[in-house]
Amino acid sequence: MTHHYIPNVQEIRGQMLREIDIASIDELFADIPSDVRLKHKLKLPAPMSELEVRRQIKSMLSKNKPFTKMPTFLGGGTWPHHVPSHVRSIIQRAEFLTSYTPYQAEVSQGVLQALFEFQSMICELVGLEVANASMYDWATALGEAALMCARITERRKFVVPETISQERLFVLQNYARGPAVRVVKVGYDDRTGQLDLSQLRAELDKDTAGVYIENPSYLGFLETQVDEIADVAHRVGAKFVVGVNPVSLGILKAPGDYGADIVVGEGQPLGNPVSFGGPALGIFACRSEDKLIRQLPGRLIGMTETVDGTTRGYAMVLQTREQHIRRERATSNICSNEALCAIAAAIYMASLGPTGFRKLAETCAANAEYAMKRLWTVDGLEVPIFDSPHFNEFTLRCTKPGVTVEKFNKKLLEQGVHGGKPIKKEFPELDEAALICTTELHTKESIDELVEAASRALEGSK
């Protein structure tokens, strides 16, 4: 029996074959040499009805415990936020969901304008004039930013802070491998976490293509010397690249306003679910300079008008930078991106508006402030590790002898609370440390629950 996704049933297929004088379907595959042909039927689960598949996958996924069912304090590169129902509902519209990349502008004005508005709102957030239509995620956007700096400056060194997320560092190193860009780390102040400026100065030279910082940093604190870092970088002719959690920009100064040439970041928190880490949404923005724009990776949507000059419209622009035209001389190999996630982000930003967005950022920060204040009172915890202002994430350290961070987290989990991300593999110098995150999803009660669970966890381990 023909599968129900295939309209041309056996009888119609027979008729089509006759119409084109082909004896059998096999004739259409006769050019596949028999020695390479598949001799067995693929060993896959037997086909199931929709009902059976729904049952099976629901039952499989029911073994997960979603963070909505337990207070969870994980962030570290992807952050849970409330996604308004209308955002989910609009991006499920088939016209957006089931369309291809908008090569045919005449029938793709919807996606094109929505992506232009995404670019526009990202520009407002980060304080720059140019943004592309998305990268895969923050980490790959960073990788591309390093390569872009190297192309623009014709230099081969890219400087990053030691406090960078190790995942992003690994990705960056892989992107840097091909063009042989050297990734160099600069240390931080033990007490404050702030980038070591004298070490930065010593590291910068005529071969430095770019200087990268994260603000808020991966470890949650804010870089307070951004003006100095921008200045030091620019003085040697390097580009200044800033990585952001865009939600923080509801209250924090826009990187474009403190000298950033390129801003990258993770756009997932803008209207997209965490979804076990993907799909994500890479943000990529830059200063409006011709030299930078021509070296941008990824799709760019531009405003234009009809050939007859009567009507405003949108189209993919500067495609000559891209792989389908420039091939091995393209600015990047990226083709498919994260367009639908970008549209979700546009709808999200437009819905929150300036007031909502500020409120969102304030709530995230206030919740972290409250959590730090309360956890500080717990015996056996050092919170936060760094004496600096924080946004919505911070580090804690288990100081009680014999209590590893894993053991601490396990005890929290036994009480129905999911602790922060252990970071001692990434930062052994911080000992038994974890990264805690709060967003607007957390309530006073859920934070209190964490504090109480933490107290009990540490009491019990005496």
Partner 1 sequence: MSFCQARWARGGCLEPSIFELSRPGRRGAGFPKKLIARIKIPEKLLRGSLRLPELSEPEVVRHYTRLSQMNYGVDMVFYPIGSCTMKYNPKICEELAALDEAVFLHPDQDESTVQGALELMYRLERCLSEIGGVSKTCLHPSAGAHGELLGMLLVRAYHSSKGENRFEVVVPDSAHGTNFASAAMAGFRVVVVPSNDRGRVDLEALRSAVSGRTAALALTNPNTLGLFEDEISEIAKTVHEAGGLLYYDGANMNGILGKVRPGDMGFDIVHFNLHKTFSTPHGGGGPGAGPVGVVQKLERFLPVPTVEYDGRRNSYYLDYDRPESIGKIRSFYGSFGVLVKAYTYILIMGAEGLGEATEAAVLNANYVMRKVREVPGFEVKFDGPCKHEVVFSAEPLKRETGVTARDVAKRLLDYGIHAPTYYFPPIVPEALMVEPTETEPKEELDRFIAAMKEISEDARSVPEKLWSAPSATAIGRLDETKASRSPILSWRMYENRARR
Of residues 300 through 319, those in contact with partner 1 by CB under 8 A are 300-319
- Within 159-178, the residues that bind partner 1 by CB under 8 A are 165, 167-168, 170-171, 173-175, 177-178
Q: Which residue's CB is nearer to partner 1, number 115 or number 453?
A: 115
Q: Which residue's CB is nearer to partner 1, number 103 or number 206?
A: 103
Question: Between 239 and 278, how does the x/- string for binding to partner 1 read (CB under 8 A)?
Answer: ----------xxxxxx--x--------x------xxxxxx
Residue 367 CA to its chain's centroid (Å): 22
- What residues form DSSP beta bridges with 131? 285
Q: Which amino acid is at 140?
A: T
b/e for 333-344, b at 16 or more Cβ within 10 A? Answer: ebeebbbbbbbb
Q: Which residue's CB is nearer to partner 1, number 48 or number 202?
A: 48
Measuring CA to CA, which residue among 366, 299, 312, 398 is closest to residue 339? 299
Question: Between 437 and 456, how does the x/- string for binding to partner 1 read (CB under 8 A)?
Answer: ---x---x--x---------
Choose, by CB under 8 A, the member of 71, 121, 214, 219 that binds partner 1: 121
Choose, by CB under 8 A, the member of 23, 154, 198, 327 that binds partner 1: 327
Q: Does 359 bind partner 1 (CB under 8 A)?
A: yes
Measuring CA to CA, which residue among 349, 279, 330 is closest to residue 138? 279
- Within 40-99, the residues that bind partner 1 by CB under 8 A are 41-50, 53-54, 56-58, 60-68, 70, 72, 74, 76-78, 80, 84, 86, 88-99
Q: Does 462 bind partner 1 (CB under 8 A)?
A: no
Q: How far is the CB of 195 from partner 1 (least distance, A)?
A: 15
Q: How far is the CB of 290 from partner 1 (least distance, A)?
A: 9
Q: Which residue's CB is nearer to partner 1, number 155 or number 204?
A: 155
The count of residues in the chain is: 462
Count the site residues for partner 1 by CB under 8 A.
213
Q: What angle do CA 386, 391, 395 make, to 5 degrees?
A: 35
Measuring CA to CA, which residue among 174, 95, 108 is closest to residue 136? 174
Q: Does 23 bind partner 1 (CB under 8 A)?
A: no
Q: What stretch of H or E contains 111?
A: helix 109-126
Contact 264, 142 (CB under 8 A): yes
Distance CA 23, CA 14 (A): 9
Choose, by CB under 8 A, the member of 182, 199, 259, 279 that binds partner 1: 279
Instruction: Report CA-CA distances (Å) from 140 to 38, 137, 321, 383, 452.
Output: 37, 6, 18, 31, 39
